[in-house]
């Protein structure tokens, strides 16, 4: 993932590929999502939830080749899947209002249908725990001191399955050891 940060400037004005957000005061939740969007520099976005649609809309306004799919979490049909592989999916105000198994299925579908990065902003008072997100391949990116407290979880296909030193050909097929060692 490219590491870009928010720059000072005017909201909606494009400098390079970054969304400049300093002119309008932003909440910590908006700032966290803006940093994710700026770091990803998506050309295709799925936004579920009010705040996600707002922030994705700001990005899409200043980036003409950006394709935005904005969805209302309340009207999202069960079994929905993204129309194509997406660069980024933003999910806010969604998991709190859905059955946990439906919400897990939604996150799994976003991930399994090739969304490269996913950012989920949830209140800490939901039944969702850190273990639930880790089980789906997410990492806790930030905890926001807001009312109510929020947590930002992210999934990135590029960093999801890290290279392990033992997982290579040297430790798997060693023809010189065939017939010598048994386990």
Instruction: Give residue 9's pLDDT.
Output: 28
Instruction: Tell me which residue range forms the domain holding 48.
Output: 27-161
Q: Quick check: is 121 in a domain?
A: yes
Residue 71 lies in a domain: yes
The number of domains in the chain is: 1
Residue 182 maps to a domain: no
CATH of the domain at 132: 3.40.50.150
Asked if residue 50 lies in contact with residue 33, where contact means CB atoms within 8 angstroms, the answer is no
CA 182 vs CA 168, 173, 176, 177, 178: distances in Å? 20, 14, 13, 9, 9
Amino acid 125: pLDDT? 85
5 within domain boundaries? no
- CA quadruple 159, 163, 164, 165: dihedral sign: negative
Classify residue 17: in a domain, yes or no.
Answer: no
User: HSE of 115 in the Cβ direction (CA atoms, 13 Å)?
Assistant: 27
**Per-residue tens of pLDDT for the chain, all 183 residues:** 222 222 222 233 344 445 544 547 889 999 999 999 999 999 999 999 999 999 999 998 887 788 888 888 777 776 777 778 889 999 998 888 888 888 898 898 888 888 999 999 999 888 899 999 999 999 999 999 998 999 999 999 888 777 777 766 666 666 676 677 665
* Inside any domain, residue 181: no
Query: For residue 15, is it within any domain?
Result: no
Residue 55: inside a domain, yes or no?
A: yes
């Amino acid at each position: 993932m490219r590491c870009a940060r928010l720059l000072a400037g005017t909201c909606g004005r494009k400098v390079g590929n970054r969304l400049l957000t300093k002119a309008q005061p932003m909440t910590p939740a908006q700032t966290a999502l803006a940093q994710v969007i700026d770091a990803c520099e998506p050309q295709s976005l799925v936004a579920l939830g009010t705040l996600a649609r707002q922030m994705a809309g700001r990005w899409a306004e200043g980036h003409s080749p950006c394709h935005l799919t904005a969805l209302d979490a309340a009207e999202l049909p069960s079994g929905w899947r993204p129309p194509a592989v997406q660069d980024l999916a933003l999910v806010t105000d969604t998991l709190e209002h859905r059955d946990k198994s439906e919400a897990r299925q939604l996150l799994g579908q976003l991930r399994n249908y090739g969304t490269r990065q996913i950012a989920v902003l949830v209140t800490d008072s939901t039944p969702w725990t850190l273990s639930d997100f880790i089980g789906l391949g997410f990492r806790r990116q930030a905890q926001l001191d807001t009312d109510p407290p929020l947590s930002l979880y992210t999934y990135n296909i590029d960093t999801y399955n890290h290279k392990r030193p033992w997982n290579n050909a040297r430790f798997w097929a060693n023809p010189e050891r065939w017939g010598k060692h048994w386990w």
